[in-house]
Amino acid sequence: MIDTPDNDTTATPDHDDATRRYYETGDVDAFYDAVWGGEDIHVGIYAEGDEPVAEASHRTVEHAADKVADLLGPHATVLDLGSGYGGSARALAARFGCRVAALDLSEAHNRRHRAANARRGLDGLIEVVTGSLNDLPYETGRFDVVWSLEVLCHVEDREGALSEAVRVLRPGGALVFSDIMAPGEPPAEAVRPAFARLGVRTPATPDFYLRQLSELGLKGADFEDRTADLATHYARLDEDVHRRAAELRDRISPAYVDDLLANLPLWTDVTRRGLLRWGLFHARRSAV
Ligand SMILES: C[S@@+](CC[C@H](N)C(=O)[O-])C[C@H]1O[C@@H](n2cnc3c(N)ncnc32)[C@H](O)[C@@H]1O
């Protein structure tokens, strides 16, 4: 349905290969499936401190969608960068009837994404493409909204990825994304062990993104700081893994469950110490 000159990008930098290997590891996939809910893989927005991770994660999608709802409807096309299991793409297509081009590095995620779209009867609206944020196989000005939840932390060339995202946005279109960041540069040494599990070398900062958005000519760039939700999210993940450790050891290797039990509390700790930031960015291309 969506016109793409190339449906598969094979030449990706080494870091993309490392990211793909991380997400395609059986234990990692089983963790995202069993503990995050298998639909969304991003930080949740919590109405209650003890609500399920999957419910809060879905609220993040609805909250981000509210920011761009005026641009969306059956006439519109969204590009979801780093679409993962496809939770955002399905929510947007179901809520607005819009078309979604969903691009992700991982063919394993993409297979699972396509299967879920077909089960939900949304495969006519969503096209899933294998590729990298740094080399988008789309023509300039193609999309009404470019969307990306929790992906840019994995990207080495963030300037390049943002510039590509803006290139494919139509005049008047909106860019909305979230990321886990450090408050300033350089990041505190204490955050490195937390990020190590994800293969993230250096987090960005909110100022970096706001500067980039302005340099790329976007208007009204806004950062909604929701760092408190990051602390709640990792505390909830930690509680879940502790409570379900015995059951999880049947689905995930015991060594990986032990790694999680060591790693997840680090996130809560460094977030509560003010060493991380999380939130949503929203900016628009001027209409002319
Ligand atoms: C934390 S998950 C987020 C998935 C999805 N956005 C969501 O919110 O559920 C990160 C996703 O980004 C993808 N990814 C990471 N780096 C990428 C890149 N350079 N190009 C395309 N996808 C990438 C990964 O394969 C993974 O599916």
Shortest-distance atom of ligand 1 to CA 12: 19
Among protein residues, the one with the nearest Cα to ligand 1's atom 4 is: 84
Q: What percent of the chain lies above the pLDDT cut of 70?
A: 95
Q: Per-residue pLDDT tens for 189-240?
A: 999 999 988 888 899 999 999 999 999 999 999 999 999 999 999 999 999 9
> Is the CB–ligand 1 distance for residue 23 below 6 Å?
yes
Q: Per-residue pLDDT tens for 47-100?
A: 998 999 999 999 999 999 999 999 999 999 999 999 999 999 999 999 999 999
Residue in the block written with tokens 């993104």: 209
Strand order in the sheet with 277-284: 126-130, 99-104, 77-81, 143-149, 169-181, 277-284, 219-225
> Is the CB–ligand 1 distance for residue 42 below 6 Å?
yes
> Is the CB–ligand 1 distance for residue 106 below 6 Å?
yes
Residue in the block written with tokens 């408190």: 228
Tell me the whole-structure pTM to 2 decimals.
0.94
What pLDDT, on the 0 to 100 scale, is given for residue 142? 98
When pLDDT is averaged across residues 22-38 and rounded to a whole number, the result is 91
In a domain, 105, yes or no: no
In a domain, 145, yes or no: yes
What pLDDT, on the 0 to 100 scale, is given for residue 5? 35
Q: Is 187 exposed, middle or buried (CB count within 10 Å of its CB: 0-12, 13-18, 19+)?
A: buried
In a domain, 205, yes or no: yes
> Cα–Cα distance between 109 and 126 in angstroms, integer?
14
Number of structural domains found in the chain:
1
Residue 186: asked if its preceding bond is cis (omega within 30°), the reply is yes
> Is the CB–ligand 1 distance for residue 271 below 6 Å?
no
What pLDDT, on the 0 to 100 scale, is given for residue 14? 82
> Is the CB–ligand 1 distance for residue 87 below 6 Å?
yes
Q: How far is the CA of 288 from the centre of ligand 1 (A)?
A: 31
Q: Per-residue pLDDT tens for 179-190?
A: 999 999 999 999
In a domain, 123, yes or no: no
In a domain, 46, yes or no: yes
**Average pLDDT value over all residues in the chain:** 93
Domain CATH code at residue 52: 3.40.50.150
In a domain, 184, yes or no: yes
In a domain, 257, yes or no: yes
Among protein residues, the one with the nearest Cα to ligand 1's atom 24 is: 82
In a domain, 92, yes or no: no
> Is the CB–ligand 1 distance for residue 110 below 6 Å?
no
Shortest-distance atom of ligand 1 to CA 87: 9
| Closest alpha carbon to 198 in 179, 174, 175 | 179
What pLDDT, on the 0 to 100 scale, is given for residue 13? 67
Residue 215's domain comprises 15-76+131-284
